[in-house]
Structure 1
Amino acid sequence: MRDPAAKGLGALLGDSVRHAADLVGGEFELLRRETDGNIRAILGLVAAFGTASLLVLAALMLFVVFLVKGLGALLGSEVAGALVVGGPFAVAALVLLVLGMRRMSRENLAPRRFERQVARDARMATRPRD
């Protein structure tokens, strides 16, 4: 015959395991809900930021068209106005292109910090111990 105290202990252990599993399950459900809410909020912010960016870009394009038309009226030729307005944009685009190409060179993309850290770790590992 089984000892009543052992049966009580087994029931207590079973209950504690079941409650712990319920607690872990509840924690994971809370994590899932919180993560879902955060993802929805981030997607909403990305949509708002994207819309604002498009509106700013459209406003800038209208401003550039206004400048070209205005300078064209002052200079007597829209071609001259387009050259005056578009010239700095072309120069800026060329400078950014050159800087980007330099930045993307193979030497600049090498993982220098990683290489230094591995060399430092190798020196520490092979250093004679006192």
Structure 2
Amino acid sequence: MASSFITANESAAVLAVAIKSKKKDRKSLGIAAAIYGINLRFRKVFISGLAGSAVGGLITGLMHGSMYGFTGSLIGSSSFFNPAHPTDLNSFYAFLFSSLAAIIVSFIVAWGWGYNDQMEMGKKVTKKQTSK
């Protein structure tokens, strides 16, 4: 379940950077290249997304939500319908509530703690060249 939150939460953390940043290059990079352009180069932004995932997972567990299939992110809502008991919507409601909470937490943590314009971007990782 927690893995289904990661994409949406990392995107929410990047959205906070895109809205908050006054630097044009970071603003456009945040919108275009979420995980590789921002989250992996600003450690605190990445951790902000993970914090939202943890909150989402906690809420899902507390609500006894179950996943009956596997489809990631918000598009995976159909995985939370119980095929044996279609009228049992407990897992689906757990998914909705925990997803919303996780996205909000990711955004708020990234906004308040995870990013400011004075932060230096981590170095780009380059692939080692092999000699022939």
**TM (normalized to structure 1)?**
0.27
Higher Cα radius of gyration: 1
| Larger RCO (alpha carbons 8 Å, 6+ apart) | 2
**When the two structures are superposed, what TM-score results if normalisation uses the length of structure 2?**
0.27
